[in-house]
Amino acid sequence: PGTIASLRVPGGPGTRFDTMLYQGYQVPPFYDSLLGKLIVWDETRDGAIARMVRALDELDVGGLATTKPLHQLLAADESVRTAQFHTRWLEPWLEQNAHKLNS
């Protein structure tokens, strides 16, 4: 919960950000934790990941903690880039990379 101090959403070809946020919006403590949804598309996986990296760099939601750093780390991970993961991959990855998120 908190106030959206600033908001800059990504855009461009193959990029969409769905949200109801606006600068000054007061996020109540009883909210659905999904504040927005970033969607990217490209003809190739590498292209889509490149768009995701750019879109995450452009995205700014000031005033609240977000999962943006987590998604930036995931986008940079070789296992994600090469689709070498499975349904139980994330839990050990989080344990190994938590220090990168908490620094």
Residue range of the domain that includes 58? 2-101
Return the pLDDT at 103. Answer: 67
Q: Residue 64 belongs to a domain with what CATH number?
A: 3.30.470.20
Indicate whether this model's pTM tops 0.75.
yes
Alpha carbon of 102 to those of 35, 69, 96, 99: distances in Å?
21, 10, 12, 5
Number of domains in the chain: 1
pLDDT in tens, 40-87: 999 999 999 999 999 999 999 999 999 999 999 999 999 999 999 999
For residue 101, give the nearest of 75, 68, 63 by alpha carbon: 68
